[in-house]
């Protein structure tokens, strides 16, 4: 009782009177508190009844009763500016015993939110995070001291248009900090070529176009390789029209960091890729953790232009010869985007074709574009093959995965001094007509050349030391 505290100067009677007054004040405050509690409880109950009575006629009131039942409680969110009374009503809800309980406003809003609004909120938050992650990856591709010449090979599909827009938002297109590369296979849809040119104009940049080596247009390609090459030998078609121009483009642009649109949801072959992949050439996959749905959420959010064939049922667009529309309900299934690609095509082993060869293991080897740089394999010019004798010679293309795969075994063969033959290699992709005149139809092609200069082609696809030795023993007499 602080107010009745005795001091040395106070008489005892005064002290007692102060104590009685203090007690009276204390009990008075207690009584007032009980009355206030009762009033607030009644007011809260009446407010709840008024809100319930408005449920059937929400259109004629200023409160929209969007509620989510939690236990036995109903909370309502006004769709107009809160009055002081509505603020109190939302901050106070009754427990089952009727005692007012304070709930933080964030929890009240959570209770009143609809499932649809929470879905939209979570999707928006996810997309914002993915955008920031992708932009950080693109900034690394451009700003890191490790990377001097980042290149973005663009196929004009939905995901690539997202990346292109992100690069543009960062200002890397117009200033040329990121070079955009485009491979024309001479088998693309006409709409793809038109859309690429429109995109160049819209974003204000000039792309770097590459196509089959030595071919200015489709007619030259047909005359040189045949219009039906893809039907006769799909691997050779991929190498000539996709892999080699792709590799040549990266080399021409001195690429040391490749930006590409591969994502985990493309299918099993890409299910474990990360945003960053290190190596002799760094690879940045800014959309690695995105889904196809995320790409379209971004496109719709920023209203960016997309390939016109998407509106005709194509989730992904490649060559016109083997790309088909897909029912829209399948677009967003796992690997659904690419389900319309490579239709009817098989690999040599009979498996279903899912990749064109550009993104398979080893396809990005652009810095050691030549093979057998070291070791005992003797490198000769393709023009010198005609004059070889007592030799086993392979005519190869360094970008060809089959040539790359035989590099180690062929080097082991050259280590064997008991062969009695020189082990040589000649690059043939830069002199294709001369290579054809030697009987080279595909890379790699291996010959045994005897003492008279006669060449015998090694027809097997078993490229091992033992297989070559057996072939030598049978043909090098």
Q: 52 Cβ partners below 8 Å, 6+ apart?
A: 74
Per the CB < 8 A criterion, the answer to whether 104 and 92 are in contact is: no
- The tokens 């490229």 sit on which residue? 463
Looking up tokens 């969110």, which residue turns up?
Answer: 77
For residue 94, which of 31, 34, 46 has the smallest C-alpha distance? Answer: 46
Contact call for residues 340 and 314 (beta carbons, < 8 A)? yes
Closest CA to 318 of 333, 297, 340: 340
Cβ 427 vs Cβ 402: under 8 Å: no
Provide the 3-class DSSP secondary structure of residue 197: helix
Paired strand residues for 445: 395
- Closest C-alpha to 446, from 437, 455, 434: 455
Which of 302, 305, 306, 307 shows the shortest CA–CA distance to 169? 302
119 by DSSP, 3-state: which?
Answer: helix
Q: How many residues does the chain have?
A: 477
> Which residues share a beta bridge with 378?
424
Where residue 279 falls (left for φ over 0; alpha for ψ -120 to 50; beta otherwise) is left
Rg (CA), the chain: 38
Cα distance from N-terminal residue to C-terminal residue, the chain: 122
Annotated active-site residue 356? The verdict is: yes
Residue 310 phi/psi, 5° resolution?
-60, -35
Question: Out of 154, 241, 257, 356, which one is annotated catalytic?
Answer: 356
* Assigned token pair, 8: 């040395």
Residues 6+ apart with CB under 8 A from 28: none
Classify residue 379 by its DSSP letter.
Answer: E
**What amino acid positions are annotated as catalytic residues?**
356
């Amino acid at each position: 009782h602080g107010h009745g505290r005795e001091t040395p100067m106070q008489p005892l009677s005064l002290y007692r009177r102060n104590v009685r007054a203090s007690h009276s004040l204390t009990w008075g405050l207690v009584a007032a508190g009980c009355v206030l509690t009762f009033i607030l409880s009644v007011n809260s109950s009446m407010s709840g009844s008024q809100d319930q009575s408005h449920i059937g006629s929400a259109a004629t009131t200023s409160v929209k009763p969007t509620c989510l039942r939690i236990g036995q409680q109903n909370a309502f969110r006004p769709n107009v500016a809160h009055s002081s009374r509505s603020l109190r009503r939302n901050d106070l809800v009754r427990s089952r015993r009727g005692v007012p309980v304070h709930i933080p406003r964030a929890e009240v809003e959570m209770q009143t939110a609809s499932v649809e609004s929470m879905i939209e909120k979570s999707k928006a938050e996810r997309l914002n995070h993915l955008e920031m992650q992708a932009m950080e990856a693109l900034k690394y591709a451009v700003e890191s001291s490790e990377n001097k010449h980042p290149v973005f090979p663009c196929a004009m599909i939905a995901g690539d248009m997202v990346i292109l827009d992100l690069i543009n938002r960062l200002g890397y297109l117009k200033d040329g900090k990121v070079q955009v590369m485009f491979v024309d296979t001479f088998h693309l849809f006409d709409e793809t070529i038109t859309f690429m040119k429109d995109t160049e104009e819209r974003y204000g940049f000039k792309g770097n176009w590459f196509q089959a080596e030595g071919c200015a247009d489709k007619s030259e390609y047909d005359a040189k390789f045949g219009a039906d090459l893809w039907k006769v030998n799909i691997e050779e078609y991929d190498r000539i029209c996709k892999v080699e121009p792709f590799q040549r483009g990266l080399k021409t642009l001195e690429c040391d960091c490749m930006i590409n649109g591969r994502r985990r949801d493309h299918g099993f072959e890409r299910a474990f890729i990360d945003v960053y992949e290190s190596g002799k050439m760094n690879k940045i996959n800014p959309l690695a953790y995105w889904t196809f749905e995320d790409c379209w959420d971004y496109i719709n959010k920023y209203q960016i232009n997309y390939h016109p064939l998407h509106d005709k049922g194509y989730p992904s667009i490649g060559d016109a010869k083997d790309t088909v529309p897909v029912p829209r309900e399948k677009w967003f299934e796992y690997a659904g985007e690419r389900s319309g690609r490579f239709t009817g095509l098989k690999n040599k082993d009979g498996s279903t074709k899912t990749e064109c060869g550009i993104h398979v293991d080893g396809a990005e080897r652009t810095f050691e574009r030549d093979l057998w740089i070291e070791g005992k394999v003797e490198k000769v010019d393709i023009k010198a093959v005609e004059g070889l004798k007592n030799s086993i010679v392979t005519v190869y293309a360094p970008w060809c995965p089959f040539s790359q795969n035989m590099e180690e075994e062929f080097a082991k063969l050259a280590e064997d001094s008991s062969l009695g033959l020189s082990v040589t290699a000649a690059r043939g992709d830069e002199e294709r007509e001369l290579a054809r005149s030697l009987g080279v139809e595909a890379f790699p092609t291996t010959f045994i050349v005897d003492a008279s200069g006669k060449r015998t082609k090694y027809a097997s696809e078993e490229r091992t030391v033992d297989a070559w030795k057996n072939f030598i023993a049978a043909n090098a007499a």
